[in-house]
Amino acid sequence: MVKRKSTLSPAQQVREKLNHPVIDGDGHIVEMNPVLLDYLKMVAGARVANRYEKLMTKGGGPWGWYKQSQSQRQSRRTLRPPFWIMPSRNTLDRATALLPNLMRERLDEFGLDFAVIYTSMGLPFVSYGDEELRRAVCRAINTMYADLYAEHGARMTPAAVIPMHTPKEAIEESEYAVRELGLKTVMIAGTVTRPVPYVARTAPKAAAHATWVDSLGIDSPHDYDPVWAKFIELKVAPATHSNSMGWGARRTTNNYMYNHIGHFAAAGDAFAKALFMGGVTKRFPKLNFAFLEGGAAWGSTLFNDIVEHWEKRNIKALRRNLDPARTNSKQLNRLIAEYGGILAKQARGAGKGDATYGGATAGEEPDIDDFAAAGVRSVKDIEKRFVPNFYFGCESDDRMIPIAFKPEHHVGGATLNAMFSSDIGHWDVPNMNKVLAESYGFVEKGLMTKKDFRRFTFDNAVRLHRGMNPDFFKGTSVEKAAAKVQ
């Protein structure tokens, strides 16, 4: 047993003030590579394990940055990958992220009654382009987790790692993780980067550099409805840590922080928007989704943006206000002639018709109702297909957390399902036993009520998982308290 000071940690001091349990919706284990390699050999064989080992030791991980010269990085626009991402000076915390037994022993010190634990190594590999390695690493991680956490179910549960490149692989790994290994929740890839088909056909060597982001809920080459249905059948709430480093401007070759800032929020926004606009939450109203590490501020913005766009561009508003056929051409041309000056001369020289538009009418435009798949006919439809289904993981020092609980910031007075998600185990948590205290600071400053804090640290995590599986917390330290959450 590790010897530590007998005084209460900052997190314990906060926990003693609370009349409810605390659930960490997103803690992290850091996989020991030699152990993961052994599991990889067990589930996929020596050849695949050797491929993985060679990639990790000689290729600089799945990004390949370290084996390139600076000029090669610039020429290929190779993304600067994460570096120095685990605790170092705080050796106890570093060991805690590596060792489930030690993490279990320290949960009280962290003020946590229960924790949902997510992968570290699986974060890049869940979206890795090589199918053989992607599926093998996910299977190895899931098998390893089932073994490592078998004796800790009362206080911790690990999330299975589910690849999503195709519905087939997602369903197969979900079935195995839940039915065979007994895991209770899943982490999925919320986006898949795919080659542009035309480029892949006509210039295959360039295909790796001409890609698009499939956010799975809209315009995907695959129908993911069987996957969403499978999650309901398996009683799991899919969560995503998908990243957007490498998208658009977030692709510097030298600055990890530039690539990192805002990337979880951008990826979450893409996935959530696709789920809503593609009608997934309409077709599967009982399926809960979690978007982790990006905070809730982007969720507030997205919710309000959807409402405001619908108000201006719902089908009735389009036909009433924006159909070019409704333009009074005589009046427009008269005004141009009267006030246009040189513009009027240029307009006359351009020929007949509407001088400001190509002349297409709504009748000539296919599929003008962008909200058709979502089935939105009112603001209430937006609220009922967004707010209950989406849960937002917020790190403890995120200064935007209180916004989620402010009805005055959301159309219709809604509040969002923000969850306490520590991210312990990674570089943004220098002291694991202080994260709960950081969040409680919002209560002490009057930015959150105690009721808000309960929802943030307990109720919303219960609703996310128990809403899918009434028995999720059975046999855990929070079973009785969770059963009372409505």
Using an 8 Å Cβ cutoff, are 140 and 40 in contact? yes
Residue 434, number of CB atoms within 10 A of its CB: 17
Residues 261 and 326 in one domain: no
> Is residue 283 in a domain?
yes
Residue 358 has a pLDDT of 47
Residues 75 and 143 in one domain: yes
Q: What is the pLDDT of residues 259-300, one digit of tens each?
A: 999 999 999 999 999 999 999 999 999 999 999 999 999 999
Residue 362 has a pLDDT of 47
Residues 81 and 56 in one domain: yes
- 3 state DSSP class of 409: helix
Closest residue by Cα to residue 27 from 93, 83, 75, 91: 93
Query: Cα dist. 27→30, 41, 179, 292 in Å?
Result: 10, 27, 23, 10
> Is residue 368 in a domain?
no
Residues 338 and 471 in one domain: no
Percent of the chain with pLDDT over 70: 93
Residues 300 and 213 in one domain: yes
Q: What is the domain count for the chain?
A: 2
C-alpha to C-alpha distance for 154 and 25, rounded to whole angstroms: 15
> Is residue 27 in a domain?
yes
CA dihedral 87, 89, 91, 97 (to 10 degrees): 0
Residues 70 and 168 in one domain: yes
Residues 113 and 21 in one domain: yes
Residues 281 and 324 in one domain: no
Residues 220 and 253 in one domain: yes
Element (H, E) at 345: helix 342-349
Mean pLDDT over the full length of the chain: 92
Residue 349 has a pLDDT of 53
CA angle 327, 371, 218 (to 5 degrees): 125
The tokens 């020289």 sit on which residue?
349
Q: What is the pLDDT of residues 43-100, one digit of tens each?
A: 999 999 999 998 887 655 656 788 888 998 898 888 888 889 888 899 999 999 999 9
* pTM for this model (two decimals): 0.93
Q: What is the pLDDT of residues 336-376, one digit of tens each?
A: 888 988 888 776 654 455 555 544 554 556 688 999 999 99
Residue 88 has a pLDDT of 86
Residues 321 and 209 in one domain: no
Which structural domain, as residue segments, surrounds residue 338?
315-352
* Rounded average pLDDT per 10-residue block, the chain, 486 residues: 71 96 96 95 96 78 77 88 88 95 97 97 91 97 97 98 98 98 97 95 90 95 98 98 91 93 95 98 98 96 97 93 86 86 71 50 70 95 96 94 96 95 92 95 96 98 98 98 96
> Is residue 217 in a domain?
yes
